């Protein structure tokens, strides 16, 4: 049965991604982007069929394991923009630090207003970093891996869907700033949108992902202490 779950999870994910990849090639609508559409459809299917994330992830974790390898592909545009990346390294680090604290305190305020349980809050701390790092972070904080992945998924989808609209609305035109915003708020999903805007935007978004992830992990003791003070 476990082998069957693995097969179904992998097969279903790949088929859905392939279908939406073809559709997005014909109609460039953000909701039809394969990363976003596949995630949304999978969540709905799991909810309707009452299948837990743990069951799905028996196969899904094999796909997730390739995420780190796939991110290496981003090294190509990053190498091509190496000089400008090195010149703005401190900008990336400082803005990422501001980003993770803004993300944390906004989440904390939201949780307090809507009386979100403490376990959920611990799980949502790493919502703006990639899934593998978020899972490890949730284990450190004592949160739920499923909720952590859901938080990453939602932040990624929302950032990819409305990120460009918000940046245009507040008239942010600089490709460096736009790239950092995508990478720091919506990780890989945001980076797929950033890459569509150009190599500079995509490169800064790609670099912002590991920087944001590392700084989030480093600051976990501070975050967990604050959450513990307000929710335990």
- Render each residue's pLDDT in the chain as its tens digit; 232 residues: 466 667 778 888 889 989 998 998 888 887 888 878 888 888 888 888 887 777 777 777 777 667 666 666 666 777 777 788 888 889 899 999 999 999 999 989 988 888 888 888 888 898 888 887 888 888 888 888 888 888 888 888 888 888 888 999 999 999 999 999 999 988 888 888 888 888 889 888 888 988 999 999 999 999 999 988 887 6
Q: What pLDDT, on a 0 to 100 scale, did the predictor assign at position 2?
A: 62
Q: What pLDDT, on a 0 to 100 scale, did the predictor assign at position 94?
A: 93
Q: What pLDDT, on a 0 to 100 scale, did the predictor assign at position 118?
A: 81
Tracing tokens 């190509």 back to the chain, one arrives at: 76
CB 138 within 8 A of CB 122: yes
Q: What pLDDT, on a 0 to 100 scale, did the predictor assign at position 3?
A: 67
Using alpha carbons, list the distances in angstroms from residue 231 to 11, 41, 109, 165, 177. Answer: 41, 33, 12, 34, 35
CA atoms of 102 and 223, how far apart (whole Å): 12
Using alpha carbons, list the distances in angstroms from residue 127 to 2, 32, 43, 67, 145. Answer: 29, 23, 17, 17, 11
Q: Is the pTM of this model over 0.85?
A: no
Q: What pLDDT, on a 0 to 100 scale, did the predictor assign at position 48?
A: 85
Q: What pLDDT, on a 0 to 100 scale, did the predictor assign at position 215?
A: 93
Q: What pLDDT, on a 0 to 100 scale, did the predictor assign at position 58?
A: 76
């Amino acid at each position: 049965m476990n082998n069957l779950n693995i097969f179904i999870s992998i097969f279903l994910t790949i088929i859905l991604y392939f279908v939406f990849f073809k559709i997005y090639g014909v109609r460039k609508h953000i909701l039809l982007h394969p990363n976003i559409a596949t995630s949304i459809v999978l969540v709905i299917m799991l909810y309707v069929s009452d299948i837990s994330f743990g069951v799905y992830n028996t196969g899904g974790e094999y796909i997730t394991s390739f995420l780190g390898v796939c991110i290496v592909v981003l090294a190509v545009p990053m190498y091509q923009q190496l000089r400008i990346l090195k010149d703005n390294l401190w900008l990336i680090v400082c803005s990422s630090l501001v980003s993770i604290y803004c993300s944390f305190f906004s989440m904390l305020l939201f949780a307090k207003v809507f009386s979100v349980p403490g376990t959920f809050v611990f799980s949502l701390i790493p919502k703006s970093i990639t899934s593998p790092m978020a899972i490890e972070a949730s284990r450190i904080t004592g949160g739920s891996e499923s909720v952590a992945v859901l938080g990453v998924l939602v932040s990624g989808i929302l950032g990819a869907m409305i990120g460009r609209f918000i940046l245009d609305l507040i008239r942010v035109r600089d490709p460096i700033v736009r790239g950092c915003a995508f990478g720091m708020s919506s990780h890989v999903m945001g980076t797929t949108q950033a890459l569509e805007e150009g190599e500079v935007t995509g490169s800064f978004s790609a670099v912002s992902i590991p920087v944001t992830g590392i700084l989030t992990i480093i600051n976990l003791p501070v975050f967990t202490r604050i959450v513990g003070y307000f929710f335990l």
